[in-house]
Chains A and B, each alone.
Chain A
């Protein structure tokens, strides 16, 4: 349970970090919060020769509003998301999901960008980035690029990030007066990995759904958007009948994974139950 020996450096800026990775010829890892990387090193699932500590880089910090987006610096910690008035006002779905992320001590160290870069399909923030249609800003030695969350999560722990790239910030479209959100998950105990979880970001006017994005976690190898369910609800009121129909559409659209405790059929059933609850909350505006 001890990591293999490695070298350690704390670069002064993102550019220096990127160059260090290139110099290490790929035998390096970036570390920010380290709440998933350190156990992976302790278990020797990873054994890089160099750790590049990006946790203290000012360029990667901070929450701010600019150009219709909430900018979340990549090393913003989960506890900062949880305690932020800016997040509550402009990205209420994230504020709803934050209390479900891991345990308090992990939230004190783990970072938003790190969670997206790891892309654990059972994690809350990658799925919420998808539900919010967030934009992920990525730096490499070649420069900076932006990738939509819909194109970012590719497969199990696989993202659009290329070796050596760093997430610098995530941009979330600002909530409007029409925005309604809901988040919940089903887990054996609070703080455990969810059996299934989901978040909804919607715009509603006069009881009608103008736009809705729904993303599930813990149902596959990536976070999952359910476009057919979204389409079935758009333009409609969230009546009991509409909600039941949406649950039926979900039952055919979702193709969940199974594990030793949870066969796919059980997970599909629980996803339907969860969707019904969340849509009920959207309708009641609670």
Chain B
């Protein structure tokens, strides 16, 4: 029983074949098997949001699924978002607004923020807070994180309006 299973998935655009034990969570697979340690494991029960990754372009908890379930899927981590420069402006806004202190929650915050910014919805502070309702931060009190995301949303909107003009 419990033999390992071969899976094939795209991680940050690169196809990876791996042999995993079925009980290995996607979070542990990313961190331990392929050394992508930007995804953090906090509560490991879907509460803290530190392990959020994009699964087929939607934020999900990497601790709430097993790597075998991601077979055939596309996973993107905070490293992938960084390398393809999808969140340069977001990271800059986090930095400038001091939207992190210890940094443990930041990867999850960025993935949630990426998700809500990419949704195209009109964002106000309430909807940003709603989007972050599954992310714990024990340092900042959230205010600066909401500020940084709000700033990014505003700058992106201004940028788009300039492009259209």
Contact B130 A190 (CB under 8 A): yes
Q: Which of A1, A5, A7, A104 has the most chain B CB atoms inside 10 A of its CB?
A: A104
A106-B134, A109-B60, A109-B65 known; A42+B2 contact, CB < 8 A? no
Contact B22 A5 (CB under 8 A): yes
A79–B71 CA distance with the chains assembled, in angstroms:
21
Q: Is B55 an interface residue (CB 8 A)?
A: yes
Contact A102 B69 (CB under 8 A): no
Within 8 A of A (CB), among B89-140: 112, 115-116, 129-131, 133-134
Specify which chain A residues have a CB less than 8 angstroms from the CB of B65 in the assembled complex. Answer: 34, 38, 109
A83: nearest chain-B partner, CB-CB: B119
A283–B3 CA distance with the chains assembled, in angstroms:
60
Contact A2 B59 (CB under 8 A): no
Contact B130 A191 (CB under 8 A): yes
A41–B64 CA distance with the chains assembled, in angstroms:
10
Contact A105 B21 (CB under 8 A): no
Contact B134 A102 (CB under 8 A): yes
Closest Cβ of chain B to A127, distance in Å, is: 20
Within 8 A of B (CB), among A1-46: 1-8, 10, 31, 34-35, 38-39, 41-43
CB 8 Å contact bits of A92-104 with B (1 = contact, 0 = none): 0000000100111
Q: Is B52 an interface residue (CB 8 A)?
A: yes
Q: Is B40 an interface residue (CB 8 A)?
A: no
- Interface size counted on chain A using CB atoms at 8 A: 33
A82–B65 CA distance with the chains assembled, in angstroms:
22
Specify which chain B residues have a CB less than 8 angstroms from the CB of A134 in the assembled complex. Answer: none
A41–B58 CA distance with the chains assembled, in angstroms:
24
Specify which chain B residues have a CB less than 8 angstroms from the CB of A42 in the assembled complex. Answer: 25, 44-45, 63
Q: Is A261 an interface residue (CB 8 A)?
A: no
Q: Is A53 an interface residue (CB 8 A)?
A: yes
Specify which chain B residues have a CB less than 8 angstroms from the CB of A191 in the assembled complex. Answer: 130, 133-134
Contact B112 A5 (CB under 8 A): no
Within 8 A of B (CB), among A38-75: 38-39, 41-43, 49, 51, 53, 55
Specify which chain B residues have a CB less than 8 angstroms from the CB of A79 in the assembled complex. Answer: 58
> Which secondary structure dominates chain A's binding surface?
loop
Contact B49 A105 (CB under 8 A): yes
Specify which chain B residues have a CB less than 8 angstroms from the CB of A39 in the assembled complex. Answer: 45-46, 64
Contact of A8 among B22, B52, B64, B131 (CB under 8 A): B22
Q: Is A84 an interface residue (CB 8 A)?
A: no
Specify which chain A residues have a CB less than 8 angstroms from the CB of B71 in the assembled complex. Answer: 10
Contact B2 A5 (CB under 8 A): yes
Specify which chain B residues have a CB less than 8 angstroms from the CB of A8 in the assembled complex. Answer: 5, 22, 66, 68
A108–B2 CA distance with the chains assembled, in angstroms:
28
A191: nearest chain-B partner, CB-CB: B133
Contact B23 A5 (CB under 8 A): yes
Contact of A103 among B55, B68, B133 (CB under 8 A): B133
A34-B64, A35-B64, A108-B55 known; A6+B133 contact, CB < 8 A? no
Specify which chain B residues have a CB less than 8 angstroms from the CB of A2 in the assembled complex. Answer: 23
A102–B60 CA distance with the chains assembled, in angstroms:
12
B54: nearest chain-A partner, CB-CB: A108
Question: 23 A-B Cβ contacts within 8 A?
Answer: A3-B66, A5-B21, A6-B23, A7-B3, A34-B64, A34-B65, A34-B66, A38-B66, A42-B45, A43-B45, A49-B1, A103-B49, A103-B134, A104-B112, A105-B59, A105-B115, A106-B46, A106-B134, A108-B60, A189-B133, A190-B130, A190-B133, A191-B133
Residues of B within 8 A of A (CB): 1-3, 5, 21-23, 25, 44-46, 49, 52, 55, 58-61, 63-66, 68-69, 71, 112, 115-116, 129-131, 133-134
Query: Apart from A109-B61, A191-B130, what 17 extra A-B contacts exist at CB < 8 Å?
Result: A3-B66, A5-B2, A5-B22, A5-B23, A7-B2, A10-B71, A31-B69, A34-B69, A38-B64, A41-B23, A49-B1, A103-B134, A104-B134, A108-B58, A108-B59, A109-B64, A191-B134
Query: When A and B form their complex, which 3 residue pairs have the shortest distance between CB atoms, in order from nearest?
Result: A103-B134, A191-B133, A8-B22
